[in-house]
Structures are given as structure tokens and as C-alpha cells.
Structure 1
Amino acid sequence: MLSLFISSIAALHALAVALPGPQPHPLSIALTKSFTLRNADGLVDPASIRAHITSTEAKLQRGAAAFERNTGKALFSTPPTKRAGESGSAPLVDDSNKIWIGAIEAGTPPKAFTIDFDTGSPDLFLPGESCGNACSGQERYNPSSSSSAQALGKTFQVAYGDGSAAEGDLYKDTVTFAGFKATGQTFGVATNATDFSQEKYDGLMGMSFPSLSNFPANPVFNTLVAQGAVPESVFAFKLASSGSELRVGGVNSALYKGSFTYTPVTKQAYWQIDGDGIGVNGKNVIKKFSAIVDSGSSLILGNSAQVKQLYAATDATEVQKGVYALPCDAMPHVSITLGGKAFPLSAETLNRGPIESSGKTCIGAIHGSDSIGDKYQWILGDVFMRNVYTVFDVGNSRVGFAELA
């Protein structure tokens, strides 16, 4: 069954109605994050973290399968381990530990939806009118209520390894994103799903490259770029405990300081880049590696052997496969070097919280996996992104990082 570890979300800002043509300035969406990896006592639940790792692994497996269908080439030199029963399709929504949420609008007249923005997947999914009790907590997209809706006569299906599934129809319609209007945008509309009730967000918007699409179709932002609707072909994230936002069509200079350090995308699928190293307490422990920058993941995930090597430099103990505990007051000084610049991770983001009632032992936020692609593949999720201002440059196929202001 899909994870249901979602708490209540804060009120979301409504989007401005888009003006005709490209706007002179980029616009922002306020973001809220709401999830829990803790039990009723407020303690971190290693099993929930393990489930989140498994979900991230499955997302990469689905993306790799879609990339191979679309391009005829393998995404990873060592394909991710595929779990029995899983399809190669993208999910309707990611699990509940991956939600940086804001608002979009779809249809004519426009209807607002609460969306999980995910740079680790490409497609837009919304719940449909006929989704039934499985989508009882969501706003529904009704094509008969939109004068710009166009049925494509095609369906999508997604099956999870745990038996959960979703299916629906493909439509084209107008999607308004941060005030910018994408016309004729292809997206999936769920007509049926299992175990999707009680979710407090409506759907998912992927922001990776089109080569991962299961439709296949351009992601919404790529459609905006192709239609000349945005002033710049970039979007940027600030992820923090407060003041989080997604900037569309530019960057917000008030949210960072200094200049950006850019690193090129190595393969236009995920936002995949090469890293220079990972240091622990002043020592470079991990050298060259490949990384996917993924707002749809709540963790930093790396090859199990490398993660074990990293924690060997600390006083840590593995409490579940790939999940490590260490003294709460002894979080290591970790830095990740990209484009020749070291970006330190705060102790706050590295500490997931206590695992026992004394509050002395905590879970570290860097986890191990053997099923995420190439041997030296890492996932840089929000544990990393909360320490930097991140710009995704579609036009120049690169990712930039700057210090937070």
C-alpha cells in the first residue's frame, strides 16, 4: 500500500491569472512541506525511512525504464535492480515523505490544484471526477467543465511492487503555473487508484527532462519554454523551514548571496550531474560520484558501501538497512563539493531526530541503497537542497548552486 504518512498542510497561496505572452519578470510559488517520519511519540521511525528509500529506488527504476523506451538507450550503465511486479511507469503521486507543495491551475475556466513539485520525475498527474473514493481527499479535474480540454484517446497505468496501482486517461488542456500559461499541455487524469484517499495534496508535477516521460510529452515547464511563455528557461528552489518558494522563469536574488556555481547535466533525463567529493569532519571520504538533484526526495541517498564508508568516520550504528543512528549532539561536519566548491550541510538538516525517548540517539539523514543505478550514483534530495539555493537551467542543461542569503 502507498505510504500515508502525511500531516495537515498549511494554506496555499492562490496563483495570479496569467497575462498573454511572456511576462517581464519571473514569478514565484510559495511552497509548504508537510510530512512525518515519526511515530505517535514523536520519535523517528526507521521503518518509514526505509520505506522512503524503497520508494526512491522504485522511482528511479520507473524513470530508467521510460528513458529506455523513449530513447532506445540505457540510462544507467548498471541498471537499477527491478522489483518483481513493478511496471516501468511513473507514479501518480510520490510517497508522503516527498512533498514540497504549491498551487497550479488547470482548465478553462481555471481550477486550482495543490501540487507536489518533483524534479525527479517528468509528468503531471491530476485526480479525475471518476476516481471515486480512492481520491476522496482531492480536488478533481473534470474535462467536461473545461472549454479547452482535449481527450487524447490514450490511457496510462501504473503498478507498484506492493500491489497498489493507478490508471487513467491522457488529456491536453491549459495549465497555469506561477502565472504562466502552458496551452495544450499533456497530463494524466486518474480514473481509478488504490489506497489514495486522505491525501492532502491533489497531484504531482514532474520537472525533469522529457526523455523520462511515460506519455511521452513535455513537462509543463518545458512546454512554457517551447511556447516562449517565460522570460528565462530556468526555475529555482529555496527549501527551508520557512520562506520556501519555487521561482519560475528566473531566480530570486533576495534569497541567495554571491555567485552561482554551475555544473553541467551529464545526461538529459534526471537532473544528473557529476560531484567532486563528500567530506566528513574535514576529510574527503567520497571522491568522484554522480548525483541526481531531486526535490521529490526527502533524503540524501548513496551507494551502500560508500555510505558505510562515510559513517565509519563517525560514531554511527546501522539500525536498518542503509539507515544509521549516532549521538544527537555529535552530528558530523559534512560537505558536498560540486563544481569545485564545497557546500556544507547544517547539523539541523543532517539530524532526522531522536530514535529513543532519552533524546540522545538520532538518525542521520544520509542513507544507503544498492538499487539506485550506477555504482557511484547518489540522490541529493531536500537534505542537501535546504542548504543551498538551487537553479535548474533548462536552456543550458546545467544546475547551479549558491549560498542562501
Structure 2
Amino acid sequence: MLTIAFVTSALALIAAASPAPFDNNGVRIALQKRDDGLQSVTDLVDVGALLAALERTVSKFENGFAAYKTNTGQAHPLTVLPDLLGGDDDGSGSDNSTLSRRGTTGRGYVPLTDDNNGELWQGSLTIGTPAKTYTVQFDTGSSDLFVPGSQCSDANCQGHAKYFPANSSTSVDVKKTFQLNYGSGSVSGEQYTDTVTISGLTSLKQRLGATSSESSSFSKANFPPDGLMGMAYQSISQYNAPPVFQSLVSQKQVTTPAFSFKLSQSGAELFLGGADSNLYTGSFTYAPVTTQGYWQVKLDNVTVNAAMPVNNVQSVIDTGTTLIVADMPQVRQFYAAIPGSKDASATVGEGFFTFPCSATEHVGLTFSGRNFAIAPSLFNLGRVSSGSNDCVGAVVGTNDLNFWVVGDTFLQNVYTTFDFGNNRVGFATLK
């Protein structure tokens, strides 16, 4: 296992950190976390689950890029290769900014739940009049809400709560279809507007999708929640309509245009309308959003001990991704700083690397001058095989994305706030 330590820059920390001006002004939604099967009870890595998780991540971002171009008429900056951040600023002679080669007030408490080592943080909301309850994954890496529809008769919709538009007096068919692809899985159906309520906060005429077809990756066994609620910006919405949280803001259901996550094995929570000061200590360190589509921010560097093998790159903060997924050449640079690490393309899959299970290197991510640790148990996905001394690392490479997707592996270590009002993401130390 890796031993993790903080590396901080005092001057940068003072400049970037500030207290949250919006504590305890919203509502709490308790989260559950489903088991993604990445690691077995014997601490052996599940190779099939790893490869599926990587494929879902890549495909989800392809969805968002396509929607961004349709909605804005321009290619998303992360799909092209300009120097987004102004070149090499670390003196190493390696310009990592040239990236990949491919193109209201509090009204209640409802916790998020966790089914062990999963990637899908889920909680409850209601849709329709009269209201019907659904569980959804809360995903900051996408922007649309969908649930199974009454027309979905295939086996993959069985066991999920279905949305019956005809049973809701506030449902309106907008006469548009949709299709969302997630790696080997996809959903498609019809778009509606209806009343959506989360822990007492109500969005009227909220755009949502009712599926008529779902692939096997969305069956109850593979996808326990009923649907998914995206929490990024409208510009990557397949519907090109305001996502749920933006609707809550514009309809004055929250007084502070921010939401926050605690993702951990105990007391996981989504807080709508600010931040829950009971869950973190000290000040937030904020990173400005660089393109309003995803929650995209600059990642100063990735550290291994005192070394910074990766510097000055773009990243997306994504609660809907388990791993940390990044540009392959940069991932190679990262593992080169861990003695004994190996390319595991042949034993695990393309993009994966192993490191000695006994390694003691210090690993972290730095935002706005402050370094945050990744816990050993989260970085280590498990042994390659029984009795092996090689463990699989949670930082994974791909040639399909030119930036870092910062998922659950990192987010379980911090309290994170997503601030629409100031277009920034903040990180603080968990209590």
C-alpha cells in the first residue's frame, strides 16, 4: 500500500484559500454508493470491471463533447490541441499543457448511500404530480436527468421504478427524442417536462428523459439506481435545457448557487444550496472553472514524494467516475516516478499500470497551490493475482482523452463544493 502525505505551498495556499460564505444554507441529501466490483473480497482486482469503468468514462465525455458542439456551435476546447494554459511553467522542459493526440433555505435531510466500493453515488428525488420517488446517480460529469419510462418493456428496465407520464398531471411531452451512450451501454427515449423535487426543493417544468430502451449495463444488477441526474453546465446537455440544479437556482429554490459533496464510506452527503460546515474543517481552496461545460479546472501538478512528474494540465472534477483517468503519456510519466511500477497492458488492460504493493511513495494532486492526499486504500485497486506483489493503481491512461478526469479515487479524500455563482470548484479537509 502507498503511504500518502500532503505537500503544500504556503503562499499559494493563502492566496487560493478562503472560508465558505454559504455554509448550512441548503438541504442535505444522503448518498449511497453502489458496488462497482473493482476489487473482490480477497483484494484481487476485477479486470473486467476495470475495463468497463474506463470505457464508460471515455464514452460519457464523448457524449458531452458532441452536445457542446451542437449547443454552442464550437468544438469543446478539450477536443482540440492548443496550449490551453500558456506552456511550460515548471522549468522541467516538459510542456504538459499540449495534451492528448486525439481528438433557499434548509428544509430537510435525506442521506446519500454507499454500497461499498462503487462509483455511483445515489440518492432520492421525486418526479410528477402526484410525486413518485426514484433513486438517481448524482453525476457532475454530465448534465441530463433520465429515468426508465413506461414504454421501456425490455428486461433491463425491470426492477427499476418507471416514470408514467400519463399518470402525472404536470407532465408535458416536448416531442423530442434522446440517446445517451456510456461505453458499451446506452439509453434512449422521449423528452418531457415535469415537476422534480429533491428534499423539499422543487423545479417546475424540468426537462427530463423517459427511456424506452436501455442496454444491459443499465439492468438492475449492473446499475442499481433507477436513473441519473447530471450536475454540470447546460452547454453539455443533450437536451440543451437547464439541468436540475440550475433550475433550482433560477426558480429561487436555493439562496446560494452552489452544491457540495462528501463522498466517503461513512455519512456521504450531497448538500444543495451551499456547503455543510459540519463536514469539513478549515478553509476551501478554490480553482476557477476554465470552460463552462464540465467542472473543468487547472490541475497544478500530480506529486510523487517531492517530485512533480505531471504539471500544468486541465482536469474535470467528476463524481460519476471511479478512477482517475488521464492522457496516456502523462500517466506514464506519473508511474515512472514510482520505482517498480510496470505497464500492465498485457496483464490487466491497456492504460493500466501496477506498482509494488509494498511501495511507500507519497502521492497527491495539487489545485491552486494546495496539495491533497489520496488515501492508500483508494489508490490501490487490488493485487493482479493471488499472491502477487504487484497492485493495480487507480490512475489510468487513455489515448482518447487529453485531460485528467478526477473521480472518486480523489474525491473521497476531500470535501468538494461546486460553485455556480463564482464558477469555481473548492476543496477542503474532511472532518
TM-score by length of 2: 0.81
Task: Say whether the 8 Å CA contact 1:104–1:114 is kept in structure 2.
Answer: yes
State how far apart, in whole Å, the 2-side matches of 1:190 and 1:380 are: 29
Task: Say whether the 8 Å CA contact 1:105–1:176 is kept in structure 2.
Answer: yes
Distance 1:341 1:243, change over 3 A: same
Q: 1:238 aligns with which of 259, 262, 281?
A: 262
Give the structure 2 partner of residue 327 of structure 1: 356
Please state how far the C-alpha of 1:146 moved relative to its aligned partner. 1.2
- Once superposed, which parts of structure 1, at least 4 consecutive aligned residues long, lie more than 3 Å away? 38-42, 77-83, 158-162
Q: 2:173 aligns with which of 148, 151, 156?
A: 151
Task: Say whether the 8 Å CA contact 1:256–1:403 is kept in structure 2.
Answer: yes
Give the structure 2 partner of residue 20 of structure 1: none
State how far apart, in whole Å, the 1-side matches of 2:305 and 2:319 are: 26
Give the structure 2 partner of residue 389 of structure 1: 415
Please state how far the C-alpha of 1:253 moved relative to its aligned partner. 0.4
**Structure 1 segments unaligned to the other structure (5+ residues):** 1-23, 84-95
Residues 228-271 of structure 1, C-alpha deviation per residue, up to 9 Å, x if partnerless? 11121010001111111101111110111110011110000000
Alignment of 1:133-282 (within 5 A): 133-158=155-180, 162=184, 164-195=185-216, 196-198=218-220, 199-282=223-306
Residues 1:317 and 2:342 aligned together = yes
The more displaced of 242-251 and 147-156 is 147-156
The more displaced of 73-82 and 221-230 is 73-82
Match for 2:344: what amino acid? Answer: V
Match for 1:393: what amino acid? Answer: D
State how far apart, in whole Å, the 2-side matches of 1:169 and 1:282 are: 52
Please state how far the C-alpha of 1:47 moved relative to its aligned partner. 3.5
Alignment of 1:355-394 (within 5 A): 355-358=384-387, 360-372=389-401, 374=402, 377-394=403-420
Alignment of 1:1-80 (within 5 A): 25-35=25-35, 36-38=37-39, 43-76=44-77, 78-79=79-80
Distance 1:169 1:232, change over 3 A: same
- Any idea what SS the aligned residue of 2:266 has? coil
Residues 1:115 and 2:116 aligned together = no
Distance 1:382 1:57, change over 3 A: same
Match for 1:108: what amino acid? Answer: T
Give the structure 1 partner of residue 113 of structure 2: none
The more displaced of 101-110 and 30-39 is 30-39
State how far apart, in whole Å, the 2-side matches of 1:240 and 1:120 are: 18
- Any idea what SS the aligned residue of 2:130 has? coil
Match for 2:47: what amino acid? Answer: P
State how far apart, in whole Å, the 2-side matches of 1:56 and 1:32 are: 20
Q: 1:343 aligns with which of 372, 389, 397?
A: 372
Give the structure 2 partner of residue 128 of structure 1: 149
Q: 1:354 aligns with which of 355, 380, 383?
A: 383
The alignment covers a number of residue pairs equal to: 366
Task: Say whether the 8 Å CA contact 1:331–1:350 is kept in structure 2.
Answer: no
Alignment of 1:77-116 (within 5 A): 78-79=79-80, 98-116=119-137
Please state how far the C-alpha of 1:359 moved relative to its aligned partner. 5.9
Task: Say whether the 8 Å CA contact 2:60–2:181 is kept in structure 1.
Answer: no
- Any idea what SS the aligned residue of 1:358 has? coil
Give the structure 2 partner of residue 299 of structure 1: 323
**Structure 2 segments unaligned to the other structure (5+ residues):** 1-23, 81-99, 104-116
Please state how far the C-alpha of 1:193 moved relative to its aligned partner. 2.3
Distance 1:258 1:159, change over 3 A: closer
Please state how far the C-alpha of 1:42 moved relative to its aligned partner. 5.2
Please state how far the C-alpha of 1:381 moved relative to its aligned partner. 0.4
State how far apart, in whole Å, the 2-side matches of 1:345 and 1:77 are: 25
Match for 1:364: what amino acid? Answer: G
Task: Please report the RMSD computed on the Cα atoms of aligned residues, expressed in angstroms.
Answer: 2.0
Please state how far the C-alpha of 1:108 moved relative to its aligned partner. 1.1
Match for 2:45: what amino acid? Answer: V
State how far apart, in whole Å, the 1-side matches of 2:204 and 2:45 are: 43
State how far apart, in whole Å, the 2-side matches of 1:208 and 1:38 are: 29
Match for 2:157: what amino acid? Answer: C
State how far apart, in whole Å, the 2-side matches of 1:49 and 1:309 are: 21
State how far apart, in whole Å, the 2-side matches of 1:159 and 1:365 are: 24
Task: Pick 1 or 2: higher relative contact order, CA cutoff 8 A, min separation 6.
Answer: 2
Match for 1:114: what amino acid? Answer: T
Distance 1:318 1:331, change over 3 A: farther
Task: Say whether the 8 Å CA contact 1:61–1:81 is kept in structure 2.
Answer: no
The more displaced of 226-235 and 323-332 is 323-332
Please state how far the C-alpha of 1:37 moved relative to its aligned partner. 1.5
